[in-house]
A and B are shown apart, each in its own frame.
Chain A
Amino acid sequence: MSNEFYRLRVNGVDHEVRDAWAGESLLYVLRERLGLPGTKGACEQGECGSCTVIMDGEAVCSCLVMAATAVEADIVTVEGLAVDGEPTDVQQSFVDAGGVQCGFCTPGLIVAVHHLLDRNPSPSDLEIKEAISGNICRCTGYGRIFEAVRQARDARAANKG
């Protein structure tokens, strides 16, 4: 494969990545080449979860994806969750429950929680803990984050019922 350019499909839009070093992480390409800085980078070794994106239906650390191998993949970042610029139910529940302090971990958590609730609409507390165990927050102590997830879960159940 020529490395002069490759295509990535992000949030439903095809992007051409040109003149990039082939070893760049998806995190780097999203932020520095495609102008999508919502995905945050911190540890660059899969420990912190702040770079979480959805790739082909799975939540993954974008820092550990070699971007040039993600051709043909369907990638969703935090920017791709909102519809018509309105916050999603999960984003709103984080605001309502006070689950955001410095905010650096928030985009990764929002993506991870969407992935959880889309697969499992009624997670138990243990399942919530396990689902976000790869997303490190150093401010909140997690109490209000768990509360935000419960609120989003319960609101979805109420809307369905």
Chain B
Amino acid sequence: MSITNATTIDEALAALAVNPKARVIQGGTDLMVEVNFNRTTIDSVVSLRRVAELRRWHVDDDAHTLRIGAGVPYAEMERPPLCDHAPALAEAARTVGSPQIRAAGSLGGNLGTCSPAGDGLPVLSALDAVVHLRSQSASRDVSVHDFMVGVKRNVRRADELIVAVTVPLVTGFQGYAKVGTRNAMVISAASACLVHDAVAGTVRLALGAVAPTVVRARGAEAWLASQTSLVGTPMVSEALAREFGARAAAECSPIDDHRSTAEYRRHAISVLAQRLLLRAATGSATALRGIRQ
């Protein structure tokens, strides 16, 4: 087994071009579990840990977008200043594993592994993120909706790296909520991200851990828009929020597994969607309260 400790994206791409079978490692929080438990045979590894370009993020004020390098750790997303630009991402980041995991894990890793329970993915879906891929010969941008194609399957080609994602800066409430067996250090049994664009008058809802990939509840989104104006602060009654939740739950296709049951997951989605919509309507503070670090 050989290791390339790349220091630039170009170096990593050159190594992948020579050996497309190489496994890519960023924080290691997924791949090393496979290695430690002998669940995988690895011929070679390209490590991105020292690629500084992947750890950068910046706001484009003209385009109203935020571009986040694939290697930016979750720990950075949950803290100022980055948390202010994408509050739902900050909330999701804060629910990932433990502080130790968040110091290592990244959106590039979440996308690369493409588990339907990845906590960053519902946020990227609700924000209609664009995934930036690069190989030695070409670059391409793929909508996150087209990027995820199945359980732990995505459209990244073996000679490509996920280098960054771009999300729009949205005016309005955005939030992430998840259910698991405990409050800390837990993989989602069900999760949801809601983004309210108060200018465009839209609500977007993405659901995690309840289908082979993260999915959007487009039926519930369209139904909500038909019921109430979503420009500015939306007027949402409890009954409307409950119906929104029920419609979202009807759009997922959960399974029974070691983490939960399909029935419970569907119920959890109805509650999470309802709760997030009511938060959007009341302008509730985010779950980041009380944390300074």
Contact = CB atoms under 8 A, between A and B. Distances in A.
Given A3-B1, A69-B47, A127-B291, A23 B100 contact: no
A138 interface: no
A3 B99 contact: no
A43 B47 CA distance: 23
Nearest to A120: B293
Interface in B114-166: none
A21 to B, nearest CB: 7
B81 interface: no
Contact of B28 (A52, A66, A126): A66
Contacts of A58: 73, 75, 103-104
A12 to B, nearest CB: 20
Given A49-B98, A65-B28, A66-B45, A60 B103 contact: yes
Contacts of B35: 23, 25, 66
Nearest to A71: B5
Interface in B89-103: 97-101, 103
A49 B99 CA distance: 10
B225 interface: no
A22 interface: yes
A49 to B, nearest CB: 6
Counting contact residues on chain A (CB < 8 A from B), the size range is 35 or more
A38 interface: no
Interface in B1-36: 1-5, 25, 27-29, 31-33, 35-36
Task: State the main secondary structure of chain A at its contact with B.
Answer: loop
A59 B73 CA distance: 12
A61 interface: yes
A23 B104 contact: no
Q: Which of B33, B97, B99 has the most CB of A within 10 A?
A: B99
Given A63-B36, A64-B28, A66-B45, A46 B5 contact: no
Given A1-B5, A66-B47, A69-B25, A61 B104 contact: yes
B218 interface: no
Contacts of A46: 29, 32-33, 97-98, 100-101
A16 interface: no
Interface string B257-271: 000000000000000
A119 B3 contact: no
Interface in B63-80: 73, 75
A75 interface: no
Contacts of B45: 22-23, 66, 69
Nearest to B50: A72
A112 B238 CA distance: 43
Interface stretch (A85-93, A96-104, A128-136, A151-159): A128-136
B96 to A, nearest CB: 11
Contacts of A3: 1-3
A48 to B, nearest CB: 9
B39 to A, nearest CB: 11
Given A58-B73, A63-B32, A133-B184, 18 more contacts: A22-B3, A22-B45, A23-B45, A44-B33, A45-B33, A47-B185, A49-B100, A59-B103, A61-B104, A64-B33, A64-B104, A71-B5, A73-B49, A112-B100, A124-B292, A126-B291, A127-B292, A133-B99
16 contacts: A1-B4, A1-B5, A46-B29, A46-B32, A46-B98, A61-B29, A63-B36, A64-B33, A68-B47, A72-B50, A112-B99, A126-B291, A127-B292, A127-B293, A131-B99, A133-B184
